[in-house]
């Protein structure tokens, strides 16, 4: 945990205030003025990891989010590629096999084994955590949606969270919406399960794309607060493309206001597709988000 905190702090070198003084007059005590952006590996232009990191760095983006699949075998490759750069690993996006609420013990065991391998690698990379969904609607057979299952989930997450904590990282619950994951569809759902898991190693996140059932982006992030909010995903809000590609729909100011007020010091990471030329739209998106962060 100390490692993750230090990582987040060190990544704050590129602050918005260094780019613009707009809005300074409105700054309140305790406000975070730093927007730590991150790109998922898959959406970043470049043939090699080096090219991808060069591109990320060229935009002043400080986070890099790899997938969890095969991560254990890539620890040295990623560590070496990041050496001497201002870019750090943000979160690790899933990549395990099986799922935690599987009825079939063999599928649950597969989750336990592969998730723990990823957690160990995430810890070595100084990641803020490993993202997971307890069960997508399509994953069957799944334990029934009952109080007993919720208790079981919290117990299992407690053990997983303690394992993550011992490895210097966390498990990050990602809420979706009822069309994708009936079990966990609001940031508050995920935060409450993280609370009841009763481990410092269990956290949650918010994804602007999935947050369609939230009545308020601002309220959603605050429902987790800094105690539980460990990561944020972002995409355009009409088609899950790059922020800005859906025009006026792509307004994140309300959510950003909550992040600034709570002093959120982790990452806002791109998880999205692209309609236009990737380099062009990603560069424009970074400008748009910095502008909206300033306005928030």
Where on the chain is the footprint of Mg ion (CB under 5 A)?
Answer: 207, 233, 271
- Rounded Cα–Cα distance for residues 236 and 190 (Å): 22
Which CB, 165 or 233, lies closer to Mg ion? 233
Which CB, 133 or 258, lies closer to Mg ion? 133
Q: Which two tokens stand for residue 174?
A: 């990602």
Q: In angstroms, give the least distance from the CB of 131 to Mg ion.
A: 7
Which CB, 217 or 271, lies closer to Mg ion? 271
Edge-to-edge, what's the strand order for the sheet holding 88-89? 88-89, 63-65, 37-40, 268-270, 229-234, 202-207, 171-173, 129-132, 91-93
Which CB, 16 or 242, lies closer to Mg ion? 242
Q: In angstroms, give the least distance from the CB of 221 to Mg ion.
A: 14
Which CB, 177 or 226, lies closer to Mg ion? 177
Tokens 């947050």, residue? 211
Q: In angstroms, give the least distance from the CB of 129 to Mg ion.
A: 13
Rounded alpha-carbon distances, angstroms, from residue 280 to 45, 47, 209? 10, 17, 21
Q: In angstroms, give the least distance from the CB of 166 to Mg ion.
A: 26
Q: In angstroms, give the least distance from the CB of 211 to Mg ion.
A: 10
Cα 22 to its chain centre, rounded Å, is: 27
Q: Name beta bridge partners: 72.
A: none
């Amino acid at each position: 945990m100390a490692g993750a905190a230090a990582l987040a702090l060190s990544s704050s070198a590129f602050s918005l205030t260094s780019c613009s003084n707009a809005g300074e007059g409105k700054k309140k005590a305790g406000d975070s003025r730093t927007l730590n952006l991150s790109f998922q590996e898959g959406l970043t232009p470049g043939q090699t990891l080096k090219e991808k990191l060069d591109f990320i760095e060229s935009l002043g983006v400080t986070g890099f989010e790899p997938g969890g699949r095969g991560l254990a075998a890539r620890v040295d490759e990623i560590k070496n590629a990041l050496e001497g750069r201002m870019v750090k690993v943000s979160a690790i996006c899933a990549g395990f096999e099986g799922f935690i609420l599987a009825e079939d013990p063999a599928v649950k065991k597969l989750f336990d084994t592969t998730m723990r391998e990823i957690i160990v690698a995430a810890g070595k990379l100084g990641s803020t955590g490993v993202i997971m969904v307890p069960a997508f609607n399509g994953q069957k057979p799944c334990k029934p949606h009952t109080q007993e299952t919720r208790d079981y989930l919290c117990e299992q997450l407690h053990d997983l969270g303690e394992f993550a904590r011992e490895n210097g990282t966390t498990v990050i619950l990602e809420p979706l919406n009822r069309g994708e994951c009936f079990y966990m569809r609001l940031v508050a759902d995920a935060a409450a399960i993280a609370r009841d898991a009763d481990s410092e190693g269990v956290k949650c996140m918010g994804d602007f794309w999935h947050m369609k059932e939230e009545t308020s982006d601002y309220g959603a992030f605050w429902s987790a607060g800094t105690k539980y909010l460990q990561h944020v995903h972002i995409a355009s809000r009409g088609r899950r493309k790059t922020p800005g590609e859906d025009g006026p729909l792509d307004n994140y100011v309300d959510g950003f206001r909550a992040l600034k007020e709570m002093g959120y010091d982790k990452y806002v990471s791109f998880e999205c597709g692209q309609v236009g030329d990737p380099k062009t739209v990603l560069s424009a998106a970074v400008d748009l988000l910095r502008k909206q962060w300033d306005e928030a």
